[in-house]
């Protein structure tokens, strides 16, 4: 008896350019009764592997600084150059590819409070010695004299360069706008009419370039319009703010790093209510910056940690720390949004992965497909109790964990006291103020 078997050529069963034979599959759900259970197990394995491979720390840059690092700035025209300023007045430029120092100068006599790169790759520095200096790290040797300098009326606290014009803003008790093309010209002065306190930070909007923001010691956030050279709006908050950062994708959104351990996201068109409140730090937030994609933020805190945030989530997605890292005063994204840079009191500039479990390098198509599949599984099952527990678990120092527990207990106590007052007074008839409104005391225009 003759039997005629079905035969298929191997060339029809595999993808062109691959040696993997295609397996015929029947997708009928009746033939796969435990499909969801197997998929859940894969998600569990994927999240375990992600946590197992999480190694965010890449390394430190060179030998660091002798004193603490208090300011950082990335070159907008380069992917691998960043400048850092220390407490002893030394400014260094680093090459991220080699993780080594390429240029340094003794710029000031005390803490370098602000750094900014110009569009032609020159470096601006400022300090409490009332001077702003301009250096050319790419074309001059280390310890070269500054190309130019400006003397102000008070101690400078921060710098910000305009995106397209050849001008920069320097803050002290007022905001001075200097023109780099006219070194001897008097600066344009901006200030709120009744404000006398020191302005701690100033930042140009990189999308709507005629808008300038500042925060000061009197707990205010002020928005200025350069077209009319006048302040537009002033918002007074419960605590003073240390840093202000504009979203690189949406001209009207900004983030404010506050002394009350939180980060507030605002829409400048409506300052009476925050878009979101980012809570997790247990000490003052010293620095905050949006990622180049505008979807994430990085923050540096006095609690010795660096945290990464999604703009839509109220809690951090990751926390970075080391045993030797002291109070973190500066944090920056690299221009490709793949790495984080942090500067701290111990004098080191550290390089971190933006995604702790990701590895750079050439990957095969199958490896990329497997990584995407695992990410999709984690996204799909992230709300399941076991997956959520593993995905959110982080090892943190004992001191930090204890501080978090104490803070949570204090917040519960405050909330309980407020509820008791409300129950036994006329406050029970008043509208409750939401978490996104509590920090705003007043808005002036």
Sign of CA dihedral 402, 406, 411, 413: positive
Claim to verify: residue 340 and residue 373 sit in the same structural domain: no
Claim to verify: residue 285 and residue 370 sit in the same structural domain: no
pLDDT digits (tens, 9 = 90+) for 337-354: 999 999 999 999 999 999
Is pLDDT at 17 greater than 80 in this prediction? no
Claim to verify: residue 70 and residue 146 sit in the same structural domain: yes
Cα 168 from Cα 183, distance rounded (Å): 12
- The domain that holds 63 is classified in CATH as 2.130.10.10
pLDDT at 242: 93
Domain range enclosing 49: 35-54+361-393
Residue 7 lies in a domain: no
Claim to verify: residue 296 and residue 281 sit in the same structural domain: yes
Claim to verify: residue 257 and residue 116 sit in the same structural domain: yes
Claim to verify: residue 339 and residue 301 sit in the same structural domain: yes
Claim to verify: residue 338 and residue 373 sit in the same structural domain: no
Claim to verify: residue 379 and residue 309 sit in the same structural domain: no
Residue 28 lies in a domain: no
Contact present, 83 and 75 (Cβ < 8 Å): yes
Residue 22 lies in a domain: no
Provide the phi-psi class of 372: left if phi over 0, else alpha when psi is between -120 and 50, else beta: alpha
pLDDT digits (tens, 9 = 90+) for 221-280: 999 999 988 999 999 999 999 999 999 999 899 999 999 999 999 999 898 899 999 999
Mean local confidence (pLDDT), 364-377? 94
Contact present, 337 and 9 (Cβ < 8 Å): no
The residue ranking higher by pLDDT, 22 or 336, is: 336
Q: Write the DSSP assignment of 416-438 as a string of letters.
A: HHHHHHHHTSGGGGSPPPPTTTT
Residue 442 lies in a domain: no
Rounded alpha-carbon distances, angstroms, from residue 395 to 308, 358, 392: 15, 19, 10
Residue 114 lies in a domain: yes
Claim to verify: residue 69 and residue 172 sit in the same structural domain: yes
Claim to verify: residue 348 and residue 324 sit in the same structural domain: yes
Provide the phi-psi class of 427: left if phi over 0, else alpha when psi is between -120 and 50, else beta: alpha
Domain boundary pick from 329, 353, 377: 353
Is pLDDT at 101 greater than 90 in this prediction? yes
Give the contacts of 430 (CB within 8 A, at least 6 positions apart): none
pTM assigned to the model: 0.88
Residue 440 lies in a domain: no
Residue 1 lies in a domain: no
Claim to verify: residue 195 and residue 246 sit in the same structural domain: yes
pLDDT digits (tens, 9 = 90+) for 299-312: 999 999 999 999 99
Is pLDDT at 416 greater than 90 in this prediction? yes
Claim to verify: residue 335 and residue 370 sit in the same structural domain: no
The count of structural domains within the chain is: 2
Mean local confidence (pLDDT), 432-440? 87
Residue 430 lies in a domain: no
């Amino acid at each position: 008896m003759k039997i005629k078997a079905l035969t298929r050529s191997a060339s029809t069963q595999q993808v062109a350019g691959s040696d993997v034979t295609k397996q015929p599959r029947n997708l009928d759900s009746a033939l796969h009764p435990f499909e969801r259970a197997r998929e859940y197990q894969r998600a569990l394995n994927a999240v375990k592997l992600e946590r197992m491979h999480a190694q965010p720390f890449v390394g430190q840059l060179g030998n660091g600084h002798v004193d603490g690092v208090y300011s950082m700035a990335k070159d907008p025209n380069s992917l691998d150059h960043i400048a850092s300023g220390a407490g002893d007045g030394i400014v260094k430029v680093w090459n991220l590819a080699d993780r080594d120092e390429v240029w340094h100068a003794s710029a000031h006599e005390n803490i370098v409070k602000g750094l900014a790169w110009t569009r032609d790759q020159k470096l601006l520095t400022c300090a409490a010695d009332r001077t702003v200096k301009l250096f050319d790290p790419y074309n001059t040797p280390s310890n070269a004299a500054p190309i130019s300098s400006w003397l102000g009326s008070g101690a400078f606290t921060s710098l910000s360069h305009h995106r397209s014009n050849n001008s920069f803003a320097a803050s002290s008790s007022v905001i001075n706008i200097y023109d780099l093309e006219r070194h001897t010209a008097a600066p344009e002065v901006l200030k709120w009419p009744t404000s006398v306190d020191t302005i701690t930070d100033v930042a140009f909007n990189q999308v709507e370039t005629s808008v300038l923001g500042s925060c000061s010691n009197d707990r205010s956030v002020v928005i200025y319009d350069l077209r009319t050279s006048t302040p537009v709006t002033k918002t007074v908050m419960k605590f003073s703010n240390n840093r202000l950062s504009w979203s690189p994708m949406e001209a009207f959104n900004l983030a404010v790093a506050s002394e009350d351990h939180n980060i507030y996201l605002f829409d400048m068109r409506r300052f009476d209510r925050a878009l979101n409140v980012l809570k997790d730090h247990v000490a003052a937030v010293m620095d905050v910056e949006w990622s180049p994609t505008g979807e994430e933020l990085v923050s540096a805190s006095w609690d010795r940690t660096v945290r990464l945030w999604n703009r839509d989530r109220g809690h951090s997605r990751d926390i970075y720390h080391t045993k030797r890292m002291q109070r973190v005063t500066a944090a920056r994204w690299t221009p490709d949004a793949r790495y984080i840079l942090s500067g701290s009191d111990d004098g080191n500039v550290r390089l971190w992965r933006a995604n702790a479990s990701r590895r750079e390098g050439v990957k095969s198509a199958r490896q990329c497909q497997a990584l995407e599949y695992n990410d999709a599984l984690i996204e799909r099952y992230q709300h399941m109790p076991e997956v959520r527990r593993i995905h959110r678990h982080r090892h943190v120092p004992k001191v930090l964990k204890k501080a978090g527990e104490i803070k949570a207990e204090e917040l519960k106590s405050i909330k309980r006291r407020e509820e008791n007052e409300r129950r036994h007074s006329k406050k029970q008839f008043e509208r409750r103020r939401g978490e996104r409104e509590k920090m705003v005391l007043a808005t002036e225009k």
